[in-house]
Amino acid sequence: MTDAMELPVRAPEVEAAAERLAPVLRRTPLQHSERLSELAGAPVWLKREDLQSVRSYKLRGAHLFLDSLSQAAREAGVVAASAGNHAQGVAQACRTLGIQGRIYVPGTTPRQKRERITAIGGDLVELVLIGDTFDDAAEAAADDADRTGATQVPPFDHPVIMAGQGTVALEAAEQLRSEHGRELGTMVVPVGGGGLLGGCGAWLRERSPATRIIGVEPAGAVSMSAAVRAGRPVTLHEMDRFVDGAAVRRVGAAPLRMVQAIAPELVAVDEGAVCTQMLDLYQVEGIIAEPAGALAATAVAAGTIEHLGRAGADAPDPEEETGDIVVVVSGGNNDVSRYNEIVERSLVHEGLKHYFLVTFPQEPGALRRFLDRVLGPNDDIVLFDYIKRNNREEGPALVGLEIGDREDLEPLMARMAASNMEIERVDPENPIYRYLT
Ligand SMILES: Cc1ncc(COP(=O)(O)O)c(C=O)c1O
């Protein structure tokens, strides 16, 4: 454990941040979730940062950072590179504090995101489109800062940013106690670059040391666990970008130092499970969460966290309850155009959607036989595409099937094997599968 004096953020700084931020923040609700409580076997509360202004907790760190600048630095303005929630947080802070900002985004950034940033920032924020990738935008922002003397606003790797984000933990613990008379047993937070986890952990370890802290990463971008293992930030060369916001190639040095000191438990959840959770949050609780916003809830729902809400195997009474669970719903900026992909990835993850290459024998009635003899009463064809469009006589067809229950797969496969058709399941490892899902 690092000497507490060396920590980038201490509890009093988070407390000072909460006071400073109070006039500009919404005190977002702490909402009980019956569904997740049932799954966890202990009371679960959702900290609704999707209802924060700019629809994510990111305003907290960004506003505190800008508010901490000297008069001279305010006059020189700020720059940031981000197409996501950080950009919206910085834009809002610029507007509130009257500081000029330039936000660099790759030219590929969807119009909806660009429009949100300019609408929030108003006259104070200039949006600069540059290059094709996030790295191009980050480089241009750094050049701008060197050239003009503007201050760069880091998304997570800074003690002030972390102190701002840490106010989520303080606020949730206070709400749980004052509004519900309950104690914070476990706090579950999403992890990208580590700013939120670092800040929340800093406050919790000092002020609520018994609270179990759990950081949740997307399985396709486990940069924090990799950094903890290596003892330094490492760059992930391959990454699934689906959980944008939390899909970060390299965590920050300051958040990593906090994580090494507070030693939270780190777990990873599959991107498909995140999709299922986004749909459950939407359909049961009526919450629009973006993928990163649903990460923490996913770990609770999917049973990823061992003995959640219980003392655990090493305790004198393993079944002893350890208090309430707070899950941070960190953001709600989900683009409607992503819902097709979300439904698809969820169905595949649930084992309800499968793909096959089917070569029909060249004889009349083959397709009808497939329908009658191979498909079961609850199996639906949701995709049918001849691979060789110019030769329907011979080439196989790609067939997507949605089944009523994941248990239906085995009998379906048995009927396929018994048919005289050549049917090959498209393995999830097959590159074509990635293309489909
Ligand atoms: C909604 C949301 N959740 C979680 C994260 C990850 O946060 P951090 O980088 O502080 O670990 C982000 C980062 O942008 C985010 O936008």
- Best residue among 47, 57, 266 to mutate for probing ligand 1, ranked by most atoms within 8 Å of CB: 57
Q: What pLDDT score does 390 carry?
A: 62
Lowest mean pLDDT among 51-55, 59-63, 173-177, 316-320: 316-320
User: Average pLDDT in the 236-261 region?
Assistant: 94
Every domain of the chain and the residues it spans: 4-57+160-341, 59-159, 351-436
**For residue 199, which atom of ligand 1 is closest to its CA?**
10
186 or 83, greater pLDDT: 186
pLDDT digits (tens, 9 = 90+) for 166-211: 999 999 999 999 999 999 999 999 999 999 999 999 999 999 999 9
Cα-to-centroid distance, 96 and ligand 1 (Å): 22
Confidence class for position 2, pLDDT limits 50, 70, 90? very low
Confidence class for position 401, pLDDT limits 50, 70, 90? very high
**Among protein residues, the one whose CA lies closest to atom 6 of ligand 1:** 192
User: Average pLDDT in the 139-152 region?
Assistant: 97
Q: Is the dihedral of CA 244, 246, 251, 255 positive or negative?
A: positive
1 pLDDT higher than 50? no
Cα-to-centroid distance, 349 and ligand 1 (Å): 23
Q: Which fold has domain 351-436?
A: Alpha-Beta Plaits (3.30.70)
Q: What pLDDT score does 389 carry?
A: 60
Lowest mean pLDDT among 28-37, 108-117, 176-185: 108-117
**Among protein residues, the one whose CA lies closest to atom 14 of ligand 1:** 245
Q: What pLDDT score does 22 carry?
A: 98
Cα-to-centroid distance, 44 and ligand 1 (Å): 21
**For residue 162, which atom of ligand 1 is closest to its CA?**
10
**For residue 189, which atom of ligand 1 is closest to its CA?**
4
Confidence class for position 436, pLDDT limits 50, 70, 90? low
- Best residue among 60, 85, 269, 281 to mutate for probing ligand 1, ranked by most atoms within 8 Å of CB: 85
Comparing 59-159 with 351-436, is the CATH topology the same? no
Q: What pLDDT score does 407 carry?
A: 94
Question: CA-CA distances (angstroms) from residue 203 to 19, 20, 104, 249, 389?
Answer: 14, 16, 32, 26, 61
- Best residue among 55, 156, 160 to mutate for probing ligand 1, ranked by most atoms within 8 Å of CB: 156
Rounded Cα distance, 413 and 118, in Å: 53
Query: Ligand 1: which residues within 6 Å by Cβ?
Result: 56, 58, 84-86, 156, 165, 190-197, 245-246, 290, 292-293, 330-331
Q: What pLDDT score does 429 carry?
A: 63
218 pLDDT higher than 80? yes
Position 47, amino acid: K
Q: Which fold has domain 4-57+160-341?
A: Rossmann fold (3.40.50)
**For residue 194, which atom of ligand 1 is closest to its CA?**
11
CATH of domain 59-159: 3.40.50.1100
**Among protein residues, the one whose CA lies closest to atom 13 of ligand 1:** 245
**For residue 191, which atom of ligand 1 is closest to its CA?**
11
Cα-to-centroid distance, 339 and ligand 1 (Å): 20
Q: What is the mean pLDDT of the chain?
A: 93
Kindly list the catalytic residues.
58, 330
H/E run at residue 218: strand 212-218
Cα-to-centroid distance, 246 and ligand 1 (Å): 5
Cα-to-centroid distance, 402 and ligand 1 (Å): 33
Helix/strand/coil (H/E/C) assignment for every residue in 245-300: CCCCCCCCHHHHHHHHHHCCEEEEECHHHHHHHHHHHHHHHCCCCCHHHHHHHHHH
CA 113 to chain centre: 17
**Among protein residues, the one whose CA lies closest to atom 10 of ligand 1:** 195
Question: Which string of b and e fits 347-377 if b means at least 16 CB within 10 Å?
Answer: bbbeebbbbbbbebeeeeebeebbeeebbee
363 pLDDT higher than 90? no
Q: Specify the pairing of strand 30-32 against strand 44-48.
A: antiparallel
Q: What pLDDT score does 112 carry?
A: 82
pTM for the structure as a whole: 0.92
Cα-to-centroid distance, 11 and ligand 1 (Å): 21
338 pLDDT higher than 80? yes
Lowest mean pLDDT among 182-186, 250-254, 266-270, 317-321: 317-321
Q: What pLDDT score does 123 carry?
A: 97
What percent of the chain has a predicted confidence (pLDDT) above 70? Answer: 95
User: Average pLDDT in the 110-136 region?
Assistant: 92
Q: Specify the pairing of strand 353-359 against strand 397-402.
A: antiparallel
